[in-house]
Amino acid sequence: MFDRDTGGARIELRALTKHYPGQPAPAVDHVDLDIPAGELVVFVGPSGCGKTTTMKMINRLVEPTSGEIRIGGEDVLSLHPDELRRHIGYAIQQVGLFPHQTIGQNIGLVPKLLGWSAARTAERVEELLTLVNLEPSAFHDRYPSQLSGGQQQRVGVARALAADPPVMLMDEPFGATDPITREHLQNEFVKLQKQLRKTIIFVTHDFEEAIKLGDRIAVLRERSHIAQYDTPANILAHPADDYVAGFIGQDATLKRLALLRVGDVECTQQRGSADMPQITSDASLREALDVMLAHGTDRCGSPSGVLTYGALCEAVGTEPASASEPTPASAARKEPVGAGPATALKEAVRR
Amino acid sequence: MTTATLRAGRTRPFGRVSGLRHVITPVILCGVLFALYAWISAQNLDSIESRSLTREFLLAKAVEHVQLTFLATALVVVVAIPLGVVASRARNRLIAPVILTVANLGQAIPCIGLLVLCTFLLGVGFQTALVGLVAYAVLPVLRNTMVGVQQVDPALIEAARGMGMTRGQVLRRVELKLAVPAILAGLRTALVLTVGVATLGAFVAAGGFGELIINGLKLNRMPVTIVGAVLTACIAFFIDWLSGLAEDLLKPRGI
């Protein structure tokens, strides 16, 4: 099967359609999409837009009406569904850990289905628990009901990774946790994916999450039509239409700032004065702006030099002084004419 | 079987409280049996009574009664659990009402009537009583199996399917495992019901404590009837106690 290479496989969807019997319109209508190997693609769209259905067709929990799916060049529809699913990681919002099995048994489930030896499975379970930051000796023999929501989600991710599948499907896996835990899990997950480079399809309706996790984002409208498919930075800078702009929300520029690190920006090479607010080089530009606003200055010190407000504007492609020339992004935001980026940013922060 | 009882079963802690719970029933039963023995010993028994209340006769009747009960329940397990699974499948939603109606009929028709009907077909004896009892006790096990399987969280089934379990594996490793508490509760009800109803077996010459009760009534010998009735009740409580132990032991850990 396609998982000879566990580092990720290319997924191609061609004219993928799902038409439920008795319904006037198809739920998913002729979707064409290429997902490069080793990338995390986020499907984002409103509830009921068909994003989950599209994802579930890839592991054939939903059988496509017509169209083609290829993973690593192999035609998915010609494979046996149960066998196919054992080679695709699957994590869902409700986690779905089996309450009557220990954490170790839950994680070792797919390897067992694949006929791995007990020793190999045990070794893998141990490795995965460590990978998702759960102490193996403490968690291996516990039952799911003894774990917190966040810990259960981690086990869910570990279980999806168990057989080292090249492709993973994740349906809002962090959706049911509180904001703090979710943020934590997202950060861990970003780190994990940097290391693993799986091909991941990640479904969410939270655009913030999409920006944070995605190498690319597919913004979907009803019937899973792709409104825009691009990197987060490009979508934020150049939304394809009003629908996408509406989905991004009012603070596209701030979201772009959040994507950039202080270390990525050219700083003026002078030493900052001691009373200047300081910021680390791995902080985001959004945090840098926050520091500036909080201190009422237009510059702050970083390890590589002084970061100015002008440099921030340049990083997102706007001119600090041009008060009357609206940028593409600000045009999409329908700002009052004449409001400069500085006012716009300050206003956005106040919101 | 309600979700409330399921939940109660889930949160019940092992330890002193449940230990006490497991001791109370046998202690009370021993007390009742001792009181019965003392009362009978104090009576002046006539020849009919003393012939009915010998150790050998009572023991033989007890064995018959328990045999009838357990054989009937074993048959119920074989019949009702598979039927319950069949009735719980979404694609069988057309047959499910039929199965349930038949099972309901088994319980709705008075057992004594059913036994008489069976005599026309099978003659009198042990196997006739067995058929009647099975028909009577199928419903609780079937119903509980159905409910137990259906109440499994759909997310668990989706996760199981998504990981590549076949339908059979999902049924065996997830759905039936999680339905065990409900199925055991149904079996417990069926067992206790059967102990009581098995007294009617005496009408079709299947033996059991029913013989004592009926003979006592017919011959107007109160002590004989009372001994039969009290011993039947004691067996019912004892089996209920055993099933309670079995529920605690067989319930999958973690739920």
Tell me which chain A residues have a C-beta less than 8 angstroms from the C-beta of B177: 100
If DSSP codes are grouped into helix, strand and coil, which group holds residue B14? coil
- Residue A105 pLDDT grade (very low, low, confident, very high; cuts 50, 70, 90): very high
Whether B1 is in a domain gets the answer no
| Overall domain count for chain B | 1
Q: A222 CA to chain B: closest CA distance, Å?
A: 24
CB contact under 8 A, B164 and A95: no
CA dist list (Å): A144 to A141, A179, A269, B57: 10, 21, 54, 54
Q: CB of A176 within 8 Å of any CB in chain B?
A: no
Structure tokens at A123: 């070794």
Residue B117 lies in a domain: yes
B204 in any annotated domain? yes
Q: Which domain holds residue B130?
A: 19-43+67-250
Instruction: Please report the number of interchain residue pairs, chain A to chain B, with beta-carbon separation below 8 angstroms.
Output: 68
Q: What is the ipTM of this complex?
A: 0.77
Could you say which residues of chain B have pLDDT below 70?
1-18
Q: Is residue B80 part of a domain?
A: yes
Alpha-carbon gap, residue A174 to A150, rounded angstroms? 8
> Can you spell out the DSSP letters for A74-91?
EEGGGS-HHHHHTTEEEE
Domain for residue B226, yes or no?
A: yes
The answer to the question of residue B197 being in a domain is yes
- Which spans in B89-209 are helix H? 96-108, 111-122, 126-150, 154-162, 167-169, 176-197
User: What is the reported pLDDT for A273?
Assistant: 66
Instruction: Specify the CATH number for the domain of residue B161.
Output: 1.10.3720.10
Residues of A in contact with B160 (CB under 8 A): 96, 98
Q: How far is B164 from chain A (nearest CA, A)?
A: 4
B232 falls within a domain: yes
Q: Which of B195, B189, B154 is nearest to B175 (CA)?
A: B154
Which residues, listed in sequence order, are joined to residue A74 by a DSSP beta bridge? A71
Asked if the structure places residue B10 within a domain, the reply is: no
Q: What is the DSSP letter of A238?
A: S
**CB-based contact (8 Å) between A113 and chain B?**
yes
Tens of pLDDT, residue by residue over A119-169, are: 999 999 999 999 888 999 999 999 999 998 889 999 999 999 999 999 999
Is residue A285 scored above 60 in pLDDT? yes
- State the burial class of residue B38 (Cβ atoms within 10 Å of its Cβ: 0-12, 13-18, 19+): exposed
Q: Return the pLDDT at A306.
A: 82
Question: Residues B129, B75: contact at Cβ < 8 Å?
Answer: no
Q: Out of B156, B165, B174, name the one closest to residue A113 (CB).
A: B165
Write out chain A residues lying below 8 Å of B250, CB-based: none
Nearest by Cα to A4 from A108, A76, A74: A74
Reading the block at residue B134, the tokens are 């099975």
- Measured at the alpha carbon of residue A316, what is the angle toward residues A315 and A320, in degrees to the nearest 5? 85
Does A59 contact B162 at a Cβ distance shorter than 8 Å?
A: yes
d(C-alpha A231, C-alpha A256), whole Å: 11
What pLDDT does residue A328 have?
Answer: 46
Chain segment A192-249, per-residue pLDDT in tens: 898 889 999 999 988 888 988 999 999 998 888 999 999 998 888 888 888 888 888 7
| SS (HEC) of A275-319 | CCCECCCCCEHHHHHHHHHHHCCCEEEECCEEEEHHHHHHHCCCC
- Cβ of B164 and A94 within 8 Å? no
pLDDT band for position A272 (cuts 50, 70, 90): low
Interface-testing mutation among B153, B157, B163, B176, with chain A (most A C-beta atoms within 10 A): B163
| Residue A40 identity (one-letter amino acid) | L
Considering the entire predicted model, what is its pTM? Answer: 0.79
Amino acid at A317: G
Inspect the interface and report whether the beta carbons of A86 and B164 lie closer than 8 Å.
yes
Give exposure, B88-114, as e/b (b: 16+ Cβ within 10 Å): beeeeeeebeebbeebeebbeeebeeb
Closest CA to A66 of A14, A17, A11, A12: A17
Cα–Cα distance measured from residue B56 to residue A201, given in angstroms and rounded to the nearest whole number: 75
- HEC sequence for A197-216: CCEEEEEECCHHHHHHHCCE
pLDDT, tens only, A295-342: 888 888 887 778 888 888 888 777 665 444 444 444 444 444 444 455
